């Protein structure tokens, strides 16, 4: 079982190594792949040193699985080349998510759709993954009509450059000396701007949540509107989610459904000040939900607060779980 990790030296790539290790994924050979500037460097996995290889070397090794976390343009160019030599690609970029020919997978929801013919599998957007994991059991029970979501997203979602910008600003380093990931200061600030703005006034990140939710849950009738916001925290993304159902619900049953959902942890005891927070989600694979309450302004409507580590379940963990499903169900060529 040879596994290539493309983008191995990035923030998400490093997290994927950690998750592969923690999950004891049954690989026999790791093939770390990165950009030309990193080729020849080394990284450590399970106490063993591995040399970072070029894309061509990774393809020539013909791994059974290649997990990509290297950006959309890289994936568009090289994922088909891996697939052409028989490798099953799990891609963390947005490149293949809305392609009708590619499955968009959150294992707890729709991994059963995967077959041996799926050679490029899309890993959803981080903010979408944590939301749909909570929405899905509620949709099956009460049928969702509409979702209104506002996100509070960690700088780690942008990458190392953003983390550096935040920490440099926090340390008081002069603006002209800060390598910027954002068009404005992020420390002590909030940016209602994630990814590029589109012609409809929404950002690409906001439309990802709209379109990916429908595809993963297999229901185009669900209406979704989103406002995505970057905040100066690390540890995970938070989301305030308002859900309107076709059918009325019982709050106790809602809590019970979520408590029984694989990968979801309910933290909802406001009398004890217990609710999900990114500082507690950091390094965890689960999605945390709390502040579960009826929307008193609208019939059949529910408010939730959802938090998850965007580098874990929002990226690395979900990708590794897809790989685990492929291995367990003998879906590799």
193 is annotated as an active-site residue: no
Neighbours of 298 (CB within 10 A): 12
Active-site choice (126, 139, 184, 193): 126
126 is annotated as an active-site residue: yes
Kind of pairing between the strands at 144-152 and 237-245: antiparallel
Active-site choice (23, 139, 193, 237): 237
The residues annotated with a catalytic role in the active site are 126, 237
């Amino acid at each position: 079982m040879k596994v290539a990790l493309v983008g191995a030296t990035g923030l998400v790539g490093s997290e994927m190594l950690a998750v592969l290790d923690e999950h004891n994924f049954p690989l026999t050979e790791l093939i770390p792949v990165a950009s030309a500037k990193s080729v020849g460097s080394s990284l450590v996995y399970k106490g063993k040193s591995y040399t970072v290889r070029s894309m061509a070397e990774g393809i020539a090794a013909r791994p059974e699985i290649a997990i990509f976390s290297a950006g959309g343009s890289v994936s568009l160019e090289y994922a088909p080349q891996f697939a052409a030599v028989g490798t099953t690609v799990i891609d963390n970029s947005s490149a293949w998510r809305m392609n009708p020919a590619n499955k968009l997978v959150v294992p707890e929801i729709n991994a059963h759709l995967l077959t041996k013919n799926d050679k490029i599998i899309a890993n959803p957007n981080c903010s979408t993954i944590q939301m749909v994991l909570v929405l899905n059991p509620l949709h099956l029970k009460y049928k969702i009509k509409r979702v209104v979501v506002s996100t509070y997203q960690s700088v780690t979602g942008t990458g190392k450059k953003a983390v550096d910008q935040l920490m440099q600003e926090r340390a008081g380093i002069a603006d002209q000396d800060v390598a910027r990931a954002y068009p404005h200061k992020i420390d002590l600030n909030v940016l209602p701007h994630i990814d590029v703005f589109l012609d409809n006034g929404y950002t690409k990140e906001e439309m990802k949540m709209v379109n990916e939710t429908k595809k993963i849950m297999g229901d185009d009738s669900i209406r979704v509107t989103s406002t995505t916001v970057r905040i100066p925290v690390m540890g995970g993304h938070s989301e305030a989610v308002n859900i309107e159902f076709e059918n009325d619900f019982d709050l106790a049953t809602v809590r019970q459904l979520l408590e029984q959902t694989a990968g979801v942890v309910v933290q909802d005891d406001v009398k004890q000040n217990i609710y999900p927070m990114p500082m507690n989600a950091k390094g965890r694979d689960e999605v945390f939900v709390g502040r579960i309450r009826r929307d008193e302004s609208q019939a059949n409507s529910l408010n939730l607060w959802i938090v998850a580590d965007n580098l874990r379940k929002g990226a690395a963990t979900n990708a590794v779980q897809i790989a685990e499903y492929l291995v367990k169900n003998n879906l590799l060529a």
